[in-house]
Structure 1
Amino acid sequence: MHCDYFSADLCRSCVRMGVPYGRQLEDKQIKVREILGDRPGLRWASPMASRESGFRNKAKMVVTGSAEDPNLGIVDRRGRGTDLSECGLYPAEITRVMPVLKEFIRDHGLVPYDISTRRGELKNIIVTVSPRGELMVRFVVRSKKYVVPIRRALPGLLGRLPHLRVVSANILREHKAVPEGPEEVPLTDEQILPMPLNGIDLHLRPHGFFQTNSDIAAAMYRQAADWAAQEGPASVWDLFCGVGGFALHLAERLGEEAEVHGIEIDPEAIEAAKSSARAAGLNHVHFSAADAGTFATMGASSPQCVVVNPPRRGIGSETARWLETAAVDTVIYSSCNAASLATDLDALPSYEPCEARLFDMFPQTTHSETMVLLRRRSGA
Structure 2
Amino acid sequence: MECLYFSASRCRSCTQMTLPYARQLQAKVEDCQHQLSGFGSLKFLPAQASNEQGFRNKAKMVISGTTEEPTIGILDADGHGVDLRNCGVIAPALRSLLPVIERFIKELKLIPYNVPKRKGELKHVILTMSDTGAVMVRWVLRTKKHFVALRDSLPQFLEQLPHHSVVSVNFLPEHKAVLEGEEEIILTRRSTLEFGLNGVPMHLRPQGFFQTNTEIAAALYRQARQWIDDVNPESVWDLYSGVGGFALHCAGEDRTVYGIETSTEAVAAAKTSADSLGLPDAHFVAQDATEFALNAGWAPDAVIVNPPRRGISAELSKWLNESDIQHVIYSSCNAKSLARDLERLGNYTPQVARVMDMFPQTDHYEVIVKLERNAA
Give the structure-1-normalised TM-score: 0.98
**SS of residue paired to 2:229:** helix
Whichever residue aligns with residue 339 of structure 1, its letter is K
2:140–2:170 CA contact under 8 A, matched in 1: yes
TM superposition outliers: structure 1 runs of 4+ over 6 Å: none
Whichever residue aligns with residue 372 of structure 2, its letter is R
Q: In angstroms, what is the RMSD of aligned CA positions?
A: 0.9
What are the equivalent positions in structure 2 for 1:168-187 lying under 5 Å apart?
A: 168-187=168-187
Q: Structure 1 regions of 5+ residues with no counterpart?
A: none
Identify the residue that residue 241 of structure 1 maps to in structure 2. Answer: 241
Deviation at 1:101, TM superposition (A): 0.5
What are the equivalent positions in structure 2 for 1:269-348 lying under 5 Å apart?
A: 269-348=266-345
Give, in whole Å, the separation in 2 of the partners of 1:146 and 1:332: 46
Identify the residue that residue 149 of structure 1 maps to in structure 2. Answer: 149
Give, in whole Å, the separation in 2 of the partners of 1:156 and 1:66: 22
2:329–2:368 CA contact under 8 A, matched in 1: yes
Give, in whole Å, the separation in 1 of the partners of 2:263 and 2:158: 30
1:147-195 C-alpha deviation (Å, 9 max, x unpaired):
1110101111111224361000010011011111111111111111001
Identify the residue that residue 56 of structure 2 maps to in structure 1. Answer: 56
Whichever residue aligns with residue 82 of structure 2, its letter is T
2:356–2:367 CA contact under 8 A, matched in 1: yes
Give, in whole Å, the separation in 2 of the partners of 1:162 and 1:272: 21
What are the equivalent positions in structure 2 for 1:6-85 lying under 5 Å apart?
A: 6-85=6-85
1:176-233 C-alpha deviation (Å, 9 max, x unpaired):
1111111111111111100110001110001100000000000000000000011111
Whichever residue aligns with residue 93 of structure 1, its letter is A
Whichever residue aligns with residue 135 of structure 1, its letter is V
Identify the residue that residue 265 of structure 1 maps to in structure 2. Answer: 262
Q: Is it true that 1:4 corresponds to 2:4 in the alignment?
A: yes
Give, in whole Å, the separation in 1 of the partners of 2:211 and 2:162: 25
**SS of residue paired to 2:140:** strand
Identify the residue that residue 193 of structure 1 maps to in structure 2. Answer: 193
**SS of residue paired to 1:127:** strand
Give the structure-2-normalised TM-score: 0.99
Going from structure 1 to structure 2, the CA distance change for 1:5 and 1:135 (only over 3 Å counts) comes to same
Select the residue among 345, 355, 361 that pairs with 1:364: 361
Identify the residue that residue 131 of structure 1 maps to in structure 2. Answer: 131
Deviation at 1:77, TM superposition (A): 2.1
Q: Is it true that 1:119 corresponds to 2:116 in the alignment?
A: no
Give, in whole Å, the separation in 1 of the partners of 2:153 and 2:257: 44
1:216–1:359 CA contact under 8 A, matched in 2: yes
**SS of residue paired to 2:210:** coil
Give, in whole Å, the separation in 2 of the partners of 1:159 and 1:112: 24
Give, in whole Å, the separation in 2 of the partners of 1:182 and 1:37: 42
Give, in whole Å, the separation in 2 of the partners of 1:39 and 1:197: 32
1:351–1:374 CA contact under 8 A, matched in 2: yes
**SS of residue paired to 1:19:** coil
1:213–1:361 CA contact under 8 A, matched in 2: yes
Whichever residue aligns with residue 258 of structure 1, its letter is R
**SS of residue paired to 1:256:** coil
User: How many residue pairs were aligned?
Assistant: 376
Whichever residue aligns with residue 309 of structure 2, its letter is R
Identify the residue that residue 210 of structure 1 maps to in structure 2. Answer: 210
Deviation at 1:337, TM superposition (A): 0.6
Q: Structure 2 regions of 5+ residues with no counterpart?
A: none
Give, in whole Å, the separation in 1 of the partners of 2:279 and 2:55: 29
Give, in whole Å, the separation in 2 of the partners of 1:162 and 1:343: 45
Deviation at 1:343, TM superposition (A): 0.4
Whichever residue aligns with residue 7 of structure 1, its letter is S
**SS of residue paired to 2:372:** strand
1:136–1:164 CA contact under 8 A, matched in 2: no
1:73-96 C-alpha deviation (Å, 9 max, x unpaired):
000121011100110111121011
Q: Is it true that 1:100 corresponds to 2:97 in the alignment?
A: no
1:100-154 C-alpha deviation (Å, 9 max, x unpaired):
1100000110000000111100000000000011011000000111111101011
